[in-house]
Amino acid sequence: DAKTTQPNSMESNEEEPVHLPCNHSTISGTDYIHWYRQLPSQGPEYVIHGLTSNVNNRMASLAIAEDRKSSTLILHRATLRDAAVYYCILRDATPANNAGNMLTFGGGTRLMVKP
Amino acid sequence: DAGITQSPRHKVTETGTPVTLRCHQTENHRYMYWYRQDPGHGLRLIHYSYGVKDTDKGEVSDGYSVSRSKTEDFLLTLESATSSQTSVYFCAIRRQGADEQFFGPGTRLTVL
């Protein structure tokens, strides 16, 4: 399975943008890039996902490098509620390889937001 | 809110006893998953289901069994609990054709 590398932790100031990096140098053509976050004492929460093009939704933006070997999750204006562990995950979309659409979580990045 | 509940939310049990955790969904999604999370680690998949009576193993399935006799319930059973199975267990669901999974609130299991 393709793996991802993320910094263990990052700090941000409230109301400033946050860029969370993820390296996935062994990504294959059928791997989707997913981001989930986990707030303290809660289950993970879906944030965003993409394949090749940049993606935007109400929670965040996902910027994918042209060679797809890295991506960046962008929170446009961090709030205290965004303090969480953010997981960058590669999901193999090939039915033969991943019939169950399984997600493989790594260690994630712990984001701390300062008021 | 994806309508997922887990029960019990907390359980303390002794080594060697059987334990069953329940995941219940109200939206008839086809796919259901059981993960475990240990301190300082991401989630690891135990088993998943792609329909009633259809299940498959995940990354860490040893010591666990599952059953899905109806769409809304996915049960995780530890036949004989061990201390290494002390963990937080999360259930997730996914609609067919969708990419995102929705997670339940978790069950904290302690095996003494």
Tell me what pLDDT residue A94 has.
Answer: 79
Residue of A nearest to B41 (CA): A107
- A100 touching chain B per CB within 8 A: yes
Tokens of A90: 């590669």
Number of Cβ within 10 Å of residue B68's Cβ equals 20
Q: Quote the percentage of chain B above a pLDDT of 70.
A: 98
- A68 touching chain B per CB within 8 A: no
- Residue A73's nearest CA partner among A82, A92, A1 is A82
CB contact (8 A) between residue A102 and residue B33: yes
Based on its alpha-carbon atoms, the radius of gyration of chain B, rounded to whole angstroms, reads: 13
Segments in chain A below pLDDT 50? none
Tell me what pLDDT residue A97 has.
Answer: 67
* A78, A109, B21, B77, B81 from B62: Cα distances, Å: 41, 29, 16, 11, 12
- Residue B90's nearest CA partner among B26, B48, B37 is B37
Q: For an interface test with B, give the residue of A103, A104, A109 to mutate (most B CBs within 10 A).
A: A103
Tell me what pLDDT residue A101 has.
Answer: 76
| B41 vs B37: which has the higher pLDDT | B37
Tokens of A61: 């933006």
Q: Quote the percentage of chain B above a pLDDT of 90.
A: 85
Tell me what pLDDT residue B96 has.
Answer: 82
Mean per-residue pLDDT for B90-106? 92
Across all residues in chain B, what is the average pLDDT?
A: 94
Query: Of B35, B48, B104, which is closest to A100 when you measure between CB atoms?
Result: B48
pLDDT tens for each residue of B3-28:
899 999 999 999 999 999 999 999 89
CB contact (8 A) between residue B58 and residue A102: yes
CB contact (8 A) between residue A46 and residue B50: no
**Cβ–Cβ pairs < 8 A, chains A and B:** 53
Tell me what pLDDT residue A2 has.
Answer: 57
Tell me what pLDDT residue B98 has.
Answer: 84
Residue of A nearest to B90 (CA): A43
Instruction: Give the pLDDT band of residue B2 (cuts 50, 70, 90).
Output: low
Tell me what pLDDT residue A99 has.
Answer: 65
CB contact (8 A) between residue A104 and residue B59: yes
Task: In whole angstroms, give the CA distance from residue B84 to residue B21.
Answer: 16
pLDDT tens for each residue of B60-81:
999 999 999 999 999 999 999 9
Please spell the DSSP secondary structure of A58-84, one letter per residue.
Answer: SS-EEEE-TTSSEEEEEESS--GGG-E
Buried b (16+ CB within 10 A) or exposed e, A75-89: beebeeebbbbbbbb
Q: Which residue has tokens 């109200």? A: B26
CB contact (8 A) between residue B33 and residue A105: no
Tell me what pLDDT residue A69 has.
Answer: 95
Please report the residues numbered 73 through 102 in chain B whose beta carbons come closer than 8 angstroms to any beta carbon of chain A. 90, 92, 94, 99-102
